[in-house]
Amino acid sequence: MEVDYNGNKGFRLISIYERLNKGEILSKARLAKDYNVTEKTVQRDIDDLRAYIAEAHYTERDTAIEYSKIKKGYQLVRFEREWLTNEEVVAMCKILLESRALKKVELVQLITKLLSQVAPNDRILVDGIIKSELHNYVPLKHNKALLSPIWELSQYISKNEIITFSYTRKDGIDKQHTVKPVAIMFSEYYFYLIAFMADDSKKFPTVFRIDRIENIKGTETKFVVPYREKFNDGEFRKRVQFMFSGELRRVIFEYNGPSIESVLDRLPTAEILSEQNGTYTVKVEVYGDGIDMWLRSQGDGVKVLT
């Protein structure tokens, strides 16, 4: 049945709203021609849709029909928190691709969902920006699915539940662990579980690579909240290098390399004590031995004082 958009305003409003909702940019002249009405009628339709959006379903801060001088037409602009802008989608896709943390099938699923947030008019453009990187994406050698264990571990963390799992060390040896999980972090290509040993054999948290964890099981035994209180994700991240855990250390060194800014970025707790002729004396607070790896990587640019 052919719809008479000229004689049926309801059909016309639904059609215009659906087109806007799909991301089309609509000019009054184009709409007038498509529906065989005047531009004044189109303006009234736009006003009616604006009133519907403002009063029936949304607030003006959530969604609105706005006229774009640059695009020369009306568009549906969403301000809801669950909608991402084109810029945000591109940035997030770039971060995911550069991280190489996920196997390709999981990465493609995530990027496909991110692209669904982009208006159809811009989807081809955004897809083109990341297409080459996605095609040439090389996951890490372990190539294990991580989204499911990350979610499973996150639930145990939220419940303060002691868990057990088998863990394959970098030397290939398998070992069973019983731990009090407190956080999940991402660093240097890998996702990590941060946990305290259940037998309290260590006062500091232990770091486990999640791709090396298997057979996760809950014990239905809760651990007390103070473990969560004594561990602060943000403070721990600032003080750990390459996810090497261990006792808290304070290191003072001289740096005469090309960029002190790179040092401050690499070591968030770094504090410049003094500077003389381009040589900086820096104090840093860190967990474990990861800092030693970084110091050695700087060659003659670094001299450890204490």
DSSP string computed for 166-205: EEE-TTS-EEEEEEEEEEEEEETTEEEEEEEETT---SS-
Measured CA to CA, the distance from residue 54 to residue 64 in angstroms comes to: 8
Q: Is 255 exposed, middle or buried (0-12, 13-18, 19+ CB in 10 A)?
A: buried
Cα–Cα separations (whole angstroms), residue 70 to 28, 31, 67, 77: 15, 18, 9, 14
Q: Is 72 exposed, middle or buried (0-12, 13-18, 19+ CB in 10 A)?
A: exposed
Mean pLDDT of the chain: 83
Rounded (10°) CA dihedral 92, 98, 103, 106: 10
Q: Which of 57-61, 68-72, 118-122, 165-169 has the highest mean pLDDT?
A: 165-169
pLDDT digits (tens, 9 = 90+) for 181-236: 988 888 888 899 988 899 888 877 888 999 999 999 999 999 875 554 555 655 66
pLDDT digits (tens, 9 = 90+) for 38-71: 999 989 988 988 888 777 654 445 678 888 888 8
pLDDT number for residue 235: 61
% residues pLDDT > 90 (the chain): 25
Q: Is 151 exposed, middle or buried (0-12, 13-18, 19+ CB in 10 A)?
A: exposed
- Helix, strand or coil for residue 258? coil
Sequence-separated (6 or more) residues with CB below 8 Å from residue 291: 241, 249, 251, 267, 284
* Identity of the amino acid at 171: D
Confidence (pTM): 0.60
